[in-house]
Amino acid sequence: MATTKTDPKLATAANGAKKAKFYEGLTREQLIRAYRLMYTSRRIDDREILLKRQQKIYFQMSGAGHEAIGIAAGMALKPGYDWFYPYYRDRALCLALGVEPYNMFLQGVGAADDPSSGGRQMPSHWSYPKLHIVTQSSPTGSQILQAVGCAEGGRYIARHPKAVDVPADANDYRRFKTVSSERDEVTYVSLGDGTSSEGEFWEAMNAAALGKLPVLFCVEDNGYAISVPVEVQTAGGSISRLVSGFPNFHFEEVDGTDPVASYAAFRRAAAYCRAGHGPAFVHAHVIRPYSHSLSDDERLYRPDVERERDAQRDPVTRTQMFLLREGILDDKGITQLEKEVEAELQVAVDRALEALPPAPESVMNFLYSPDLDVTSSVFDTQAAVSEPSADGKKPAGKTMADLITATLRDEMKRDERIVIFGEDVADCSRDEYLKQKMVKGKGGVFKLTFGLQCEFGNDRVFNSPLAEAAIVGRATGMATRGLKPVVEIQFFDYIWPAMMQLRDELPTIRWRSNNGFSAPCVIRVAIGGYLTGGAIYHSQCGESIFTHIPGLRVVFPSNSQDAAGLLRTAIRCDDPVLFLEHKRLYRESFGRAAYPGPDYMIPFGKAKLVQPGTDLTVITYGAVVPRALQAAQKLEREQGVKVELIDLRSLNPFDWETIAASVTKTNRALVAYEDTLSWGYGAEIAARIADQLFDQLDAPIRRVAAKDTFVAYQPILEDAILPQPNDLYLAMKELAQY
Ligand SMILES: Cc1ncc(C[n+]2csc(CCOP(=O)(O)OP(=O)(O)O)c2C)c(N)n1
Ligand SMILES: [Mg+2]
C-alpha cells in the first residue's frame, strides 16, 4: 500500500525552479491545453445556465470547481483504451477525453442527434461508446459496482482470448457484441464525497481490493452533498481516513484544484493499476463555486464568508495565474485563448439550438435488442429425441435441477464468454481441498452449479462476497464489455439489495444510451414457496415487481424441459433476463423430462398449452401449474368440465395471442398465481382480458392467488396462505357453472 499526500500549493511551485520546466511531466503546450479545456468547461456551464434561464434547455448541472481534477484524469488516462464511469461533475474530464462542446449542448436541448442519449437523459449524463465513456444514470453511486465489473471483464478477456471469437455458426448475442481489452487498461470511476456514504461504494471497494482490480476510484470532495456538509456525511470528515485500511490499494490525497498536482496523483495511481498491483484511490479536494444545481440556492445554507474562501481556490483562476506566473502565457495569450473558446462555443450553441428533437414515435426504441428478437424463430428449435437405453426402456426423466445444470454446462462449453458467480455457487473457493480430493464441493445451496468450477476453472465459476447489489452491478459491468455473466441470487427474498441495479441500471442501459451500450446478462433466482417451513424469508414470489420494469425479460418455467429451453434462450439472447426458478419444482416428480439436447431453445413470449379444453381457460405459471392441472383433472372426472390450461412460462414478454384465442373459444377465464392477490401479475392479465375480450366473456374474470399477507412457517398457516389445488378446483367449478 502506498500513500502520497501532495502539498496543496501548486505542485510545480513546491518542486522548485529546476524541475518547474517539466511540471510533473506536462509540457508548456499541455498546460495551455489544460487551461483551454478548463476554461471551456466553465464557460459551457455558464452558457448552459443562460440557456436554462432562457428556457432553451430544461436542466443544468455544473462541473464548476471540478475542472482541474477532471482534465488531470483525462490527460493521465487514455480514451478508447481505458474505460470511464464518470459522474455528472466530470464535464472537464469528458472534454479532455475528446467530447465536443457541441455534443454537450445537443444533450442540453434534448436533440435527436445527442450522441449520449438522443434526448432521453438530462445533460451531464455522459455516454460516448467510442471513447469508452459508459452511459451513466442519476442515482448517486450506482455506477461504481459496474466499473468493478468492467475491470473484471477486461482482465477476463485478456486471459481468455477465445472469448473474443464469434464462431461463424453462432446465431446469438455474440454477433452484436465486440469484445476487446488492453493488457494494462484502467477503469476510472468517480463520485462525490456524499456518494461515498452509499453501501454500493463500500461493496465496490471491497470487491476491487479482493480482486486486485485495476479500478481507479476518484472521490471529488467538494465538501457538500447538496446542503449536507462532509462532517455530517462521513464519520471523522475524511473519506481517505476511512478507506485507508483496504488492502491492495494505492492511495492519493490531493488538492484537486491544482491541475499539476492532480495530474501527478493520477499518473502515479494509473501506473499502479497498469502494473497490475491493484486498485487506486484518489481523494481530490475541490470546490463547488455554483450551487448544487440550478434548482438549488446554496446561499440558504452557506454564508458568504465560506463561499468567498472557496473562491480563493477556484481552479480556473488559479491555473490562469499559474500560467502567467510561470511565463507560459502572457495577458495577451490568455485573452486570445479565451476569445477563441468563446467563439467556438457560440458556434456550438447556435448549431445545437437548430438541432431537431427526437420523434415521439421513437420512445419504445431500444428497450430491447433491435438485432436479436427473443420471440423469433431463431430461438425455436426442436428437442433432441433421446435414444432409448440399452434395455429398451425410455430414458429416465430428469429433474428441473438436473436440466438447469446440464444446460449451464453445455452453454459454458460452447461459449467462453460465460462466467458464473454468486453466493456459494463455486464447488470450493479453497480449491486445494478439491485438488487433493479432501472435499467433494458444494456448487450452490441448491447444488445447481455443482461441478462447474471443477470443470471450467476458478475464473469462470466463483463465489462472490455476500452482496447482492455487487452481484448484479458487477454482472452489468461485465456484460457491458461483452461477456455473458450468468449470476445467481440465492433466494428471491434477498434480491432487494440489488433493486437499485435491477430497476435503475441494468434494464435502462440500452434505452438511456439510445442503443450506445447494452448489458445482456442472466440473473438466476430461486423463488417461491410450498416448502413446508420456508416461512416469510424463504418463500417469497413477487415477479410482478420485475415485469413492471421495461427492458427486463422475465421467465418462470414450470417443468424441466421448459427450464432447459428457456435458460438457453436467456443465455444466447441479447437482452437482460431475470430467470426465476421455483425451488419447489427443482426436484418435483411433476414435469421431469429427458435432456432435450445442447441446442434446444424456446422463444420467449410463447405459452405452453398444458391441456386443451373447451369450457374454461386457466392462465397460470410456475408452481401453480401442477396444482391447477390436478384441480382441472378432478373437475373433469367429477363434472366433465374441460379446462384449457395455459402455462405462460414467459412473463415478459407474455403470449397474449394464446390467451386471446383460448378465451375467445371458452368464454371464461381464471388467472392463477402464487404471489399475493392484489396488484399481482394476474391483475394485468385480467385487465387485458376485460379490456380486449369483454364481448367474448360469459362470466366474470376470476383470480386465485395467495392471501395478501406473508408466508408463515407453520405448515397449516402456509397452506392457508398459498393457493391450493382445492382453491383452484372451487374457483374453476364456480366459474364453469356461472
Ligand atoms: C441514490 C440517490 N439518492 C439521492 C439522489 C439526489 N442527489 C443528487 S446529487 C446528490 C448529492 C451528491 O453529493 P456528492 O456525492 O457529494 O456529489 P456532488 O454533487 O457534491 O459533486 C443527491 C442527494 C440521487 N441522485 N441518488
Ligand atoms: Mg460533494
Number of the ligand 1 atom closest to the C-alpha atom of 193:
16
Nearest by Cα to 260 from 333, 325, 177: 325
Band (pLDDT 50/70/90 cuts) for residue 12 is: very low
Q: What's the pLDDT at 2?
A: 44
Pocket of ligand 1 (CB under 6 A): 89, 138-140, 191-195, 220, 222, 224-226, 292
Q: Ligand 1, residues 145, 191, 195: which to mutate, most atoms within 8 A of Cβ?
A: 195
Number of the ligand 1 atom closest to the C-alpha atom of 140:
26
Q: What's the pLDDT at 396?
A: 75
Helix residue ranges, H only, 556-704:
560-572, 624-639, 656-666, 681-692
For atom 19 of ligand 1, which residue has the closest CA? 225
Number of the ligand 1 atom closest to the C-alpha atom of 293:
19
Q: Which ligand is nearest to the CA of 503?
A: 1
- Give percent of the chain above pLDDT 70: 96
Band (pLDDT 50/70/90 cuts) for residue 295 is: confident
User: Which pLDDT tens digit goes with each residue over 588-636?
Assistant: 999 999 999 999 999 999 999 999 999 999 999 999 999 999 999 999 9
Mean pLDDT taken over the chain: 95
Question: Ligand 2 mean position to 711 CA, how many Å?
Answer: 43
User: Which pLDDT tens digit goes with each residue over 463-512?
Assistant: 999 999 999 999 999 999 999 999 999 999 999 999 999 999 999 999 99
Catalytic choice (132, 160, 538, 582)? 538
- Strand-pair partners of 489: 525
Return the exposure string of 339-370: e unless at least 16 CB atoms fall within 10 Å of the residue's CB, then b.
eebeebbeebbeebbebeebeeeeeebbebbe
For atom 15 of ligand 1, which residue has the closest CA? 192
Give the separation between CA 187 and CA 714, rounded to whole angstroms: 50
Q: What's the pLDDT at 6?
A: 43
The DSSP line for 94-147 is: HHHHT--HHHHHHHHHT-TT-TTTTTSS-TT---BGGGTB----SSTTTTHHHH
How many other β-carbons are positioned within 10 Å of the β-carbon of residue 168? Answer: 6
Q: Which amino acid is at 669?
A: A
For the question of residue 538 being annotated catalytic, the response is: yes
State yes or no: pLDDT of 3 exceeds 50: no
User: Which pLDDT tens digit goes with each residue over 231-270?
Assistant: 999 999 999 999 999 999 999 999 999 999 999 999 999 9
DSSP 696: G
User: Which pLDDT tens digit goes with each residue over 319-340?
Assistant: 999 999 999 999 999 999 999 9
φ and ψ at 331, to 5 degrees? -55, -40
For atom 25 of ligand 1, which residue has the closest CA? 139
State yes or no: pLDDT of 171 exceeds 70: yes
Q: Ligand 1, residues 140, 231, 285: which to mutate, most atoms within 8 A of Cβ?
A: 140
Question: Ligand 2 mean position to 194 CA, how many Å?
Answer: 5
Axis crossing angle, helix 101-109 with helix 28-53, rounded to the nearest 10: 20
Question: Ligand 1 mean position to 7 CA, how many Å?
Answer: 28
Question: Ligand 1 mean position to 50 CA, how many Å?
Answer: 23
Q: What's the pLDDT at 207?
A: 98
φ and ψ at 546, to 5 degrees? -95, -30
Contact 193, 233 (CB under 8 A): yes
Band (pLDDT 50/70/90 cuts) for residue 355 is: very high
The DSSP line for 450-485 is: TTHHHHH-TTTEEEPPS-HHHHHHHHHHHHHTT-EE
> Cell for 442?
458444494
State yes or no: pLDDT of 5 exceeds 50: no
User: Which pLDDT tens digit goes with each residue over 15-56?
Assistant: 444 444 679 999 999 999 999 999 999 999 999 999 999 999
Return the exposure string of 400-430: e unless at least 16 CB atoms fall within 10 Å of the residue's CB, then b.
bbbbbbbbbbbbbebbbbbbbbbbbbbbbee
The DSSP line for 47-65 is: HHHHHHHTTSSS-----TT
The SS3 call for residue 420 is strand
Contact 17, 281 (CB under 8 A): no
Taking every pair of Cα atoms in the chain, the longest distance, rounded to a whole number of angstroms, is 100
| Residue 185, Cβ density class (10 Å: 0-12 exposed, 13-18 middle, ≥19 buried) | buried
Q: What's the pLDDT at 14?
A: 45
Question: Ligand 2 mean position to 286 CA, how many Å?
Answer: 9
Nearest by Cα to 259 from 11, 534, 539, 588: 11
